[in-house]
Structure 1
């Protein structure tokens, strides 16, 4: 290298690479059983960095910087420094020395020094390199290194392929890089256990440093601060702030490290690197590296980043020898993507048609086992086609069973719950598993859908084959078993391939965005839990439903007669246009508004307003519509949903369809059966226990109000819940100034409406309508409520501000709920977004808690030797089927699991209370 060549130093934060690799990849072991997933990811990331840097910003000097030991000079300054950090996972610890071997195999300098952190070494080299005229790139996303950014020094986040400069620092800390340590010292850091100044966050710290210039100047003038709490905290914790400054400031003058000249880039020697990869069992990496070492070629895009591979190979498997070869490849890879194809989308009524597997991007196969058509063809009409050549279903499943149940092979799916249900019919229980849909949901709930086609288009710029293209539509639509095998192969292989690529692309983000725990504890276990519930289903008495349908039909006929009498003439009750003409043209009722079609609007809101004003016809129409909906949506439909094989209804739960983590139920939807009316409760009576069993309905009592009391830190509510008081009566007493003893039930109902309305950001208009009072009176109620419980307003303001800054809010357990409406230009839509942001942490935390209970429940019941089965989840309620002789033993176990579901992650300031009811049917148990 000549003297004129640019000098550019790359400093790789090795610890960041190691942990990202570990959390981003599934378990992987080398032939001797040693775990090596972090090593595999580390080697891949390091090689990609080296290759990519050949095209731009080529380094002349390069080093991987590692931590050596957990104790540093900072522990001498502050013994509790990083004291709350947990030890590395057991299967990561043996990989640290192998990572060091990997760095040596790449012929790269590796620097570590006992008593100092890697960040100090990076800071020293960066400072010295700038003095010598180098450009410096720090390869990391660690915020603690942002203090080093400046002229000639930048950071590079290799996972996001993004270079970070002073502008990025200002966006994160609100100050330029040279002031970052002052902000960090004030705000502290719970991860590293840096104390900071209590009550001061990053935003406030940035404002203070911007105003006063430095931490020392701020502390010297702390008495001038106008806000009493902030002033007192700064004065009382000045020494902690100064210690914190020493803790966050990186050393730039270390002497016991090799000189900069020894970091000059050396060529990778093929022999040592390939020997290392071979020893780890990294056959695919070895083959790839062998191809490119010394050739100057670039592996773009790589198989690890989820992009389009160089070769696409989709194969139909109709030979056992070829099937065995794919199985061997999957065993060797340690990971496979799996998709099952069935006769219908109803997994409980379907037969297996075929299975597709992908073992690496672009490499997938389809194994047909249940097609009833020819092997080729261009149309959708296959009547008379010859039976296709395919392996028998039993033979294929017997061959695949060891692979699919192998605990050492990770199975990746997209909504893998459906695959679990289908293969479970053939006594194959898949484990362990990953789900690209759920990973996407954890990362971006609320931003978009999480179906495979949408994710492939969004992240891989790939337009997938649609079911409509494959199966047709309308009367010409065919079942999947009638699709030709060649077309089915393309469709099924593509699905498995895209699933695998999405998993490789999205899963590393869980670690970089600190969402691994959310995925691992709240999402990944759920497919197994819900599979068991959906398989179990719930028994339904068809005779009860039939009687209700007949009763509803009779009542609808009676309502029609009454409605026509009130209208003064016959008309089609189900015609909104005819109804609108009668209400607003003939009867001259107020409030008539025409829509785009020119017809009057007769929505429920319009009719309710007229009914509230004392008009009988709209009131009867509402009664009629309610009964008609119950009949069509429930009593008629539920009879058709009873499975002929089991005499039970098997609803399907969606894990990724809401913003807040709540489950939704469909085919049929059992979560929206109305329970506030007698008619709705009658429908629940059709859901019954098997002979010799009872149903237990376990329901969290006022869980969202309890979580509001905890999250918003409302002392009065916390105290009331702790004492087991009637929370609505207590609220009425606080807001309306009336004693609890002898309270008018109507006053309590008003307080109840306010309590629950506040959670959902109810307006004065909405509350007035709900209570039937003037809007001004409702506004007074809300104002009194906030005056008595000021913490709620603080919580609302704080949450809205956070949501506007970040685009999302979080639950107590770290789930992110993105709120897109906050960016709308229309004020009414933004207002909706703000109300959603206020409610999401509460509703989402409740959803997380019941998920945690559901995940723990099967093991708890099993350990207690009980045969109770969890059948349904409906909002804050779990429904169980329990042998009659185990009722008394089951209820304490159910209560214990549900009431302690937040622990040990969150120690709530209010108790969770679960009400349990027992009965022969769901209504009786509720």
Structure 2
């Protein structure tokens, strides 16, 4: 007979994990419940696993009752640095206690006793009673308890810590971990420790001297002078720290240990009422008929006071109801169902994340909430030589059957991040149109409010349902298999659910566009751009591998040279890439002024801002060399080396991926590789663009909007001086220089004056402060403030625009671009002044930058049809980089394609809008991207 098993859950760890893992959710009463839902779901899984185990299981959740404990009587500053919980988490604490009780699990807390001490006491009692004990936590303090029969399960890492794992992580046995924690201290809990002593040093000391008291009793034997001095100066602080980190293991057990026994069955009605009250539909569905009845009852209660138009009850998610389609007849039935419905969700399962290298494994369809299927095409049973195909449809047959549906103009296809699926299917000869994309719907509605618009997050946010994760079906780490090796029943549950979720999200999101007044942004700028970007990604761009290798060698030589100079100035070799070693060299060895150590790491700051500060000093030459070393190192690792590995072996080209739902302003991002962040302000960075070349018989053409954001500011802020200058084709930066520096109207402007005026023009329209402008121009703050004042005197419309925009965002929490794109700025409600000021500057920037992003999207959308109408069928658009479009043009189209590109870009703003300032477009041509500039 196996020994009973005791599971003690560190409730705080679960709560904060749930809070940070899931997006904000509210229940039908409008109360925040994101952390409650995540906590309940994790506890549910834990309880189910316990009930399935062969042991008698005991389980409890342990919580902190309040902020104060007996340790505050020992040390008043204990935990003084801990911030208050987020405002939207505070009302969830009592609901989490309700959740634990609804799950029929004891919820234990005690005034003036910390949860760690209660856990330690119950753990000791469990061991004494012959139980095996698992503590569910990631708290390092609780690792002190680990011993035979007692382990710690860190669900954050999905890792169990026994004696060997604790020793591997900390370098000392669990029994000595308290000594180590006392030496290193804890900034979060405000446990003093010894400044500068980290876990490795602490472990080395304990291994050398046997214990904390062994260290303190033999200080004269500590070899490192600075460490010896630090220890000697902090003996009392360390002894205090040892008391603070020690766990109290003899707390009275109330309730007693035997009361923690997990009941054989759940009090379903109580749990169902709790879940229904808070709208946790996916968990309710797991309770079957009891859950359905509770959901109906809660719905009826709400309906009594709800408007008549409230939506019907949601269909529960039922993975068992999804169908695995393995015959043509059943696939045809599903296709007929989709045609009848007029809308179908579609999703592919593939062998890779790179759409240009991925092979299709299967696809899923959903025609109504809860009605979905998976069509496997390339699954196998077994691995390697033993892999055998399973019963599934022939790929060619299935694709031929579904192609007419996906291309049928009368059936709306719905996808999540559909650009990926579109590329996968286009490579198979199938197009997808017309379509909606739930990721882009969410982005249009909630850009800025949420960082992620992925399907899992959207499902939790809008459907209160956590989808099956990929790792749940395919595994993790070395045990992970490809999706084609996942058994069909699990593959169907995962894949069909994706289509089901996507269809439901479409129903939840699409109707909100009109009310939020973001239809134009979605329909005019985002949705029609998807196939355009798919074309560009499939086209890719050619890179000259030999040129990359040459540049890589050049950078390597420069890195070596700079390294030698830095070491010479430093008086010896050290690892330049180590912030710790660099800080010690700059501030301890060379005594450069102004070094500041971080409270968290105890290291000197050596970021780019700090190095630039030092480089401006007469004695700061070494800092300038380090900056150059870093830039060369980054160029080599990120571009010249990495790009060679990212050349597609089938096409010989690099295929970046354009992300559409990242920047809140609507700007596109580029990843794998990122071709938008190639530095161009230095000669070193510009060299890389010369490695991007045209195919034989072609040229690279770069078309760039000229000062589009300044032009838009002239229009949006209604600045007569700027509008007149642009209409006359004058040099704006020269005009600004003459006004700021008190020059005559016809006076010559030198390069430095124009450069400063350019910096001021682009900085002030983004709301820069006098401090920020002073840093950029290398002048004192007073002079920068006078520049800003003089600028607003010359262009009062810009100052008025900034004031009006700031007032609007403070009141409404968002701003809009000229195309109605809504940029949400939740930090404007922050209690932290710096965060509010950041949101104000972002609002000023967002209208201009967001409108610029919308305009170039409209140009991209119109470019293909315009080129086709002009007969320029060989010209391909390859890249979009901020305000620039890059094309590959056949030699015989170079002359006559330029006016077409110029006209499309210059006229992209209309007919919906009309600007009072012309859009200028500059075009360059060359054998490479670098030559085209």
Name the TM-score, length of structure 2 as normaliser: 0.65
| Inter-partner Cα distance in structure 1 for 2:782 and 2:431 | 60
Name the CA shift for 1:856/1:695 in 2 (closer, same or farther; >3 Å).
same
Residues 1:898 and 2:905 are matched in the alignment: yes
Residue 605 in 1 paired to residue 609 in 2?
Answer: yes
Deviation at 1:766, TM superposition (A): 1.4
Per the alignment, residue 79 of structure 1 pairs with none
For residues 471 and 309 of structure 2, what CA distance do their matches in structure 1 show? 32
* Distance (Å, rounded) in 1 between the aligned partners of 2:494 and 2:897: 47
1:306/1:501 contact within 8 Å kept: no
1:633 corresponds in structure 2 to 638
Q: Is the 8 A contact 1:358 1:500 kept in 2?
A: yes
Aligned to 1:696: 701
Map of 1:662 onto structure 2: 667
CA contact (8 A) 1:695 1:879 kept: yes
- Residue 329 of structure 1: CA displacement? 0.7
Task: Tell whether the 8 Å contact from 1:306 to 1:505 is kept in structure 2 after alignment.
Answer: no
Cα offset, 1:762, TM superposition:
1.3
Deviation string 1:882-909 (CA, Å, 9 cap, x unpaired) is: 1111111100000000001001111111
Aligned to 2:390: 388
| Residue of structure 1 equivalent to 2:519 | 516
- Give the superposition deviation at 1:743: 1.6
Query: Which residue is equivalent to 2:405?
Result: 403
Please name the residue that 1:346 is paired with.
354
Q: CA offset at residue 511 of structure 1?
A: 2.0
SS of the residue 2:752 aligns to: helix
Cα contact 1:354–1:367 (8 A) shared by 2: yes
Distance 2:631 2:799 in 1: 37
Match of residue 616 from structure 1: 621
The one of 336, 345, 368 equivalent to 1:337 is 345
The one of 549, 571, 575 equivalent to 2:574 is: 571
Whole-Å Cα distance in 1 between the matches of residues 360 and 311 of structure 2?
Answer: 31
| Post-superposition offset of 1:304 | 7.0
The superposition leaves residues 480-505 of structure 1 with CA deviations (integer Å, 9 ceiling, x where unpaired) of 22222222111111110010000011
Match of 2:591 in 1: 588
Cα separation, 2, equivalents of 1:679 and 1:371: 48
> Match for 2:461 among 453, 458, 462?
458
Residue 517 of structure 1 deviates from its aligned partner by 2.2
For structure 2, list consecutive stretches of 5 or more residues without a partner in the other structure: 1-27, 29-295
Instruction: Provide the rounded CA distance (Å) in 2 between the counterparts of 1:842 and 1:664.
Output: 18
Residue 303 of structure 1, CA deviation: 12
User: Residue 414 of structure 2: SS of its match in structure 1?
Assistant: strand
| 1:357 corresponds to 2:365 | yes
Within 5 Å, give how 1:698-777 maps onto structure 2: 698-739=703-744, 740-777=746-783
Q: Which residue of structure 2 aligns with residue 210 of structure 1?
A: none
Q: Deviations 1:76-109 (Å, cap 9, x if unpaired)?
A: xxxxxxxxxxxxxxxxxxxxxxxxxxxxxxxxxx
Check whether the contact 2:364–2:496 (CA below 8 A) recurs between aligned residues: yes
Say which SS state the counterpart of residue 367 (structure 1) adopts.
strand
SS in 1 for 2:510: helix
**Separation in structure 1 between the aligned mates of residue 532 and residue 749 of structure 2, nearest angstrom:** 45
Q: Please state whether the residue corresponding to 2:349 is helix, strand or coil.
A: strand
CA distance in structure 2 between the aligned counterparts of 1:460 and 1:576, rounded to whole angstroms: 45
Measure, in 2, the Cα distance between the counterparts of 1:609 and 1:600.
Answer: 14
The aligned runs of 1:121-520 (5 Å cut-off) are 307-309=314-316, 313-373=321-381, 384=386, 386-448=388-450, 449-520=452-523
Look up the SS of the partner of 1:923 in the other structure: coil
Distance in 2, matches of 1:726 and 1:733, equals 11
Contact persistence 1:303–1:361 (CA under 8 A):
no
SS in structure 1 at match of 2:380: coil
Q: Among 534, 538, 542, which residue is 1:535 paired with?
A: 538
Deviations 1:137-171 (A, max 9, x none): xxxxxxxxxxxxxxxxxxxxxxxxxxxxxxxxxxx
Distance 1:371 1:554 in 2: 49
**Residues 310 and 689 of structure 1, relative CA distance in 2, 3 Å threshold:** closer
Once the two structures are TM-superposed, the CA of residue 384 in structure 1 deviates from its matched residue by 4.0
Q: Which segment drifts farther, 874-883 or 472-481?
A: 472-481
CA distance in 1, matches of 2:487, 2:387: 10
**2:884 aligned residue:** 877
CA displacement 1:25-50 (0-9 Å, x = unmatched)? xxxxxxxxxxxxxxxxxxxxxxxxxx
Structure 2: distance between partners of 1:724 and 1:485: 65
Q: In the alignment, which residue of structure 1 is the partner of 2:78?
A: none
Given that residues 738 and 747 in structure 2 are in contact (C-alpha distance below 8 angstroms), is that contact kept between their aligned partners in structure 1? no
CA distance in 1, matches of 2:477, 2:674: 24
**Corresponding residue SS for 2:802:** helix
Aligned mates of 2:313, 2:602 — CA distance in 1: 51
Supply the distance in 1 between the matched residues of 2:784 and 2:315 (Cα, whole angstroms).
59
Match of 1:846 among 836, 852, 856: 852
* Cα deviation 1:150-202 (Å, max 9, x = unaligned): xxxxxxxxxxxxxxxxxxxxxxxxxxxxxxxxxxxxxxxxxxxxxxxxxxxxx
Deviations 1:815-851 (Å, cap 9, x if unpaired)?
Answer: 1011122111111111111110000000000000000
Q: Does 1:910 align with 2:917?
A: yes
RMSD: 2.2
Shift of 1:370: 1.4
C-alpha distance in 1, partners of 2:473/2:827? 36
Q: How far apart, CA to CA, are the structure 1 residues paired with 2:623 and 2:901?
A: 45
Distance 1:537 1:310 in 2: 40
- After TM superposition, give the deviation of residue 305 of structure 1 in Å: 6.6
Structure-to-structure mapping, 1:20-59, within 5 angstroms: none
Cα gap change, 1:304 to 1:918, in 2 (>3 Å): farther
Quote how far apart the aligned CAs of 1:310 are: 7.8
Partner Cα separation in structure 2 for residue 483 and residue 549 of structure 1: 42
TM-score (normalizing by structure 1): 0.66
Partner in structure 2 of residue 923 of structure 1: 930
Contact 1:304–1:504, Cα closer than 8 Å, also in 2 = no
SS at match of 1:593: coil
| Equivalent residues in 2 for 1:38-117, closer than 5 Å | none
After superposition, the C-alpha distances for 1:422-447 in whole angstroms (9 at most, x for unaligned) are: 00011101111111111111111111
Q: In 2 relative to 1, CA 472–592 (structure 1 residues): closer, same or farther, beyond 3 Å?
A: farther
TM alignment of 1:793-872, pairs within 5 A: 793-867=799-873, 868-872=875-879
Aligned with residue 679 of structure 2, among 674, 680, 684: 674
Distance 1:427 1:687 in 2: 29
* Mean CA deviation greater in 300-309 or 592-601: 300-309
- 2:928 & 2:453 partners in 1: Cα distance? 36
Q: Is the 8 A contact 1:306 1:504 kept in 2?
A: no
**Contact kept? 1:674, 1:680, Cα under 8 Å:** yes
CA distance in 2, matches of 1:813, 1:780: 35
Give secondary structure in 1 for the equivalent of 2:322.
strand
In 1, Cα distance between equivalents of 2:318 and 2:810: 44
Q: What do residues 287-326 of structure 1 show as CA deviations (whole Å, max 9, x unaligned)?
A: xxxxx9xxx9999999977933486621111122211111
